Each structure stands twice: as C-alpha cells, then as structure tokens.
C-alpha cells in the first residue's frame, strides 16, 4: 500500500460555516503519525480565522475516529532517532492538541468509531463531544506495558469519577459510546446513523451565538476549573471586560432586543446578532 503524503493525512471541507475536519488514514484506523500531527497543525492554521468558518467538527474517515498514536511511526521510528526525535514528535502532537483546546471557534468531537489512547488528547481538546453508540473507547496502553501518557490519564481524571478512571486505565477494557456518555467522556451518544445530524444541529445552534462571547465562555470554563472561587470570580470579571472591548456593541444589542423590542427571550434562544439598533452604538 502506498504511503499517504502529509497533505493527505487530514481532509476537510467547509459547508454552511461548519468546517468538517477528518483524520484521513482509515487503513490505519486513523492512527496519529508524525505526518498527521504536522498536517493537523497546518489545518488549524488554515481554518482558525477564516470568516466562513464558525464551528469546527473533528471526525474520522471510515470506521474509526482515531486509534491513538501510530505505534510504529510515532513510537518505534522516532525513538530510534534518540531523545531529539522523541521530543520533536511530542511537540508536534501535544502542540496541535493544545492549539485545539484554545481554538478561536467552538469545536466538536464527532466520535464515529474507535477512540483509543492518544485519541483522548484531541477528544478532551474539543469543547463538546458526541459519539456513536457503537463507537469503542479504550485506554489500551496498559496492554502493551506503558501508562496512559500524553495527557490521557489527566483527561479521564478530569472527565470521569476516580473509580471509573482507575478501572478504565488499569484494565484496558473497552467501553462503547453509551458507557462513554454515562461516564461523561462525551456529552451524548446517539445511533451512528443519527450522529452527523445531531452534531449538525448543535453546530447550527452555536452559529447563532455571539462569537466573541463563545470564545470568552469556552476559555473561561477551562480556566476556572482549577481556580479558587475568589480567583475565578475576579478572572471572570476581567474576562467579560476584555470581551466587551472586542465586541462593544454585541452585549448592548442583545439587551436592546430583549428590553426595547421584546423580540426574543434569553432563556429560550439567542438574540439576532446580524442586527444592530441605534441604541447599541
């Protein structure tokens, strides 16, 4: 089988302001190789500030989301290069996961199939996650003699209970999408045939929101998790002030439509961000 070029390890298309990004090594269960990791950073560069992109969805070609790190290319071949090769491959993979965590636009993991080991890095990096009920999740590292590294242990400790995290990491036993939703690794699990429709509906909902407020909100949720209440309170005040400076009219327009026009109710939906009234100048 001919080896894929770096360009061909990731595919994407933009449709109705949603960037549908796919790991594209189905013959390797979309395992993350150094080439794929480098290409993902390029793709994030290409999409992050495009005006026609409002939401990014990360999925996988074929029957897998990603089977984690490519054991041959990511581990064996880079380890053969010595410490320099190892550190380079770590920077390339952890680098795009970090970039995805703080991406300018909302991000959704659409887990259509196998999600193993290193795949927990980009899974956690996405703001929201939806899985097919038939998808398979697992920390298989224990089965070949290492711990769940690359942030995977941190991911399960942050997202699921300590007992479930211990069982998941120590046994290497697979769970399906339903169990992943029960454990809160993902927001929801739906039948595979309904997965794209559900993700599309959530993406459409996000596209209605104020983009500056969305970015401030996703950053705030990640930042305040490890803060004391007082520190979080102060941070959120400053974050709102910063958001107001980037979008001085958005907040006023939302209030104007609610109070003066009575054209929407905040508890039931978003204000119309395409309209700007005279009072919001």
- Residues 12 and 177: their CA atoms lie apart, in Å, by 24
Q: What is the pLDDT of residue 263?
A: 65
**pLDDT tens string 13-39:** 999 999 999 999 999 999 999 999 999
Tell me the whole-structure pTM to 2 decimals.
Answer: 0.91
- Measured between alpha carbons, how far is 159 from 123 in angstroms, rounded to an integer? 11
Helix segments in 102-145, DSSP class H? 120-125
Tell me phi and psi for residue 34, to 5 degrees.
-55, -40
**pLDDT band per the 50, 70, 90 thresholds, residue 254:** low
Q: Which helix (H) or strand (E) holds 240?
A: helix 229-246
| Window from 88-97, 167-176, 178-187 with minimum mean pLDDT | 88-97
Q: How far are the Cα atoms of 15, 127, 258, 274 from residue 152, in angstroms, in the given order?
A: 32, 16, 44, 40
For 182, other C-beta atoms within 10 Å of its C-beta total: 14
Give the 3-state secondary structure of residue 60.
strand
């Amino acid at each position: 089988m001919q080896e894929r070029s770096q360009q061909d390890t990731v595919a994407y298309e933009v449709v109705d302001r949603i960037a549908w990004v796919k790991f594209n090594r189905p013959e390797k269960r979309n395992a993350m190789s150094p080439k794929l990791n480098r290409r993902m950073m390029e793709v994030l560069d290409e999409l992050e500030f495009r005006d026609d992109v409002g939401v990014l969805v990360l999925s996988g070609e074929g029957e897998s989301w990603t089977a984690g790190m490519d054991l041959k290319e990511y581990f064996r071949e880079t380890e053969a290069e010595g410490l320099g090769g190892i550190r380079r491959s770590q920077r390339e993979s952890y680098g795009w996961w970090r970039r995805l965590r703080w991406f300018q636009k909302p991000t959704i993991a659409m887990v259509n199939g196998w999600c193993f080991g290193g795949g927990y890095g980009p899974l956690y990096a996405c703001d929201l996650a939806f899985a097919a009920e038939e998808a398979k999740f697992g920390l298989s590292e224990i089965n070949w003699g290492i711990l769940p590294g690359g942030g995977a242990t941190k991911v399960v400790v942050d997202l699921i209970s300590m007992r479930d995290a211990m069982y998941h990491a120590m046994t290497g036993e697979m769970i399906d999408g339903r169990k992943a939703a029960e454990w809160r690794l993902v927001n929801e699990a739906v039948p595979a045939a309904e997965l794209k429709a559900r993700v599309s509906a959530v993406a459409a909902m996000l596209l209605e929101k104020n983009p500056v407020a969305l970015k401030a909100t996703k950053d705030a949720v990640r930042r305040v998790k490890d803060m004391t209440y007082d520190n979080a309170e102060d941070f959120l005040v400053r974050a709102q002030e910063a958001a107001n400076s980037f979008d001085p009219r958005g907040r006023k327009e939302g209030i104007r439509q609610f109070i003066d026009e009575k054209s929407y109710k905040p508890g039931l939906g978003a204000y119309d961000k395409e309209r700007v009234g005279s009072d919001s100048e």
